[in-house]
A = this chain, B = another copy of it.
Amino acid sequence: MTSLEATNANSQWVLTLSCIDGPGIVHAISGAIVAAGGNIAESQQFASADTGRFFMRLQVEAVAQPDTFDARFASALAPVTERYHMTWRLDRAGRPVRTLLLASTATHCVNDLLYRQRGGQLSIEVPLVLSNHEAVRDIAEFYNVPFEHRAIAGKEDKAAFEARVLEVVEEQNIELVVLARYMQILSPELCEALAGKAINIHHSFLPGFKGANPYKQAHQRGVKLIGATAHFVTSDLDEGPIIEQDTVRVDHSYSVRELTLLGQDIESRALRNAVKWFAENRVLADGERTIIFR
């Protein structure tokens, strides 16, 4: 579990890293932290038997002189990250991640994310909601988030919409694109451009019921639980690395419409968790799988 509280003081940093597994890594990293005058507030690690890689997430507080901790820490880390050929990232804990929301006709995910963003439960800031429908306009406006509508009637519209996405990502320094029930398939080019920073919510328990109308498929198959899956977007539809999943019990009496309504709750929850963990640097990629340091 994680704490926004701990970051209130704005004197904590998050270090995430991965490298080939081997002895001495933790000692080297913790040595850099001691050298920089830091204290470990939170630490999680995982050695992947699948890829042979070591992953770590550290939350570090500056014991003294927080203003210059940044520089001290970076310089203490440099020889360590170099020696172990680490992929790493240092971020300030609690820094809001710049997030673009894409939406269509369903309102529940956008509503859930913006409600929680306002309440300080999600470490994101949302410069824009971009949608091919008007459905979430009033919600965005209520939460003081700019809303932009671009209808998609054909191929050209879709290309224009995607161009606009890339433009916003560029202009607004977007770090995370959330497909909050955005019901268009992204082009391979856009998937490529957003690799590792676009999260989609699919309304089924993947890999079951890929593609369109998953609740209709679920009804026909007569499943006894329905699910939702938040995953990174890749060009392989509904096949990207899974970040979070949830299920809820149903029975024979649920119509497709009732499954759809009930499913909204788990969709909102799964997506919200995925966004929260991403924004807190808790999601690391390990090949086709994700490591979630909760």
Give me the interface of A with B, judged by CB distance under 8 Å.
Answer: 1-3, 5, 22-27, 30-31, 33-34, 37-49, 63, 107-108, 111, 115, 119, 121, 138, 142, 205-209, 220-225, 227, 241-247, 250-255, 257-258, 261, 265, 269, 286, 288-292, 294
* Chain B hits for A252, CB < 8 A: 46, 48, 286, 289-292
* Chain B hits for A257, CB < 8 A: 3, 5
Give the shortest distance, in Å, between A115 (CB) and chain B (any CB): 6
Copies of this chain in its oligomeric complex: 4
* Chain B hits for A48, CB < 8 A: 252
Give the shortest distance, in Å, between A68 (CB) and chain B (any CB): 17
Instruction: Tell which of A24, A224, A251 has the most Cβ of chain B within 10 Å.
Output: A224
Task: Check A255 against B23 for contact (C-beta < 8 Å).
Answer: no
Task: Check B225 against A246 for contact (C-beta < 8 Å).
Answer: yes
Task: Check A225 against B224 for contact (C-beta < 8 Å).
Answer: no
> Looking at the complex, which one of B26, B39, B254 makes contact with A22 (CB distance below 8 Å)?
B39
Give the shortest distance, in Å, between A98 (CB) and chain B (any CB): 23
Interchain residue pairs with CB less than 8 A apart (25)? A3-B253, A5-B258, A23-B33, A23-B34, A23-B40, A23-B63, A24-B34, A26-B43, A40-B45, A42-B45, A43-B43, A43-B45, A44-B44, A46-B252, A108-B119, A205-B247, A206-B223, A207-B208, A207-B221, A207-B223, A208-B208, A222-B289, A224-B244, A252-B286, A252-B289
* Chain B hits for A27, CB < 8 A: 27, 30-31, 33-34
* Chain B hits for A142, CB < 8 A: 138, 142
Closest to A142 in B: B142
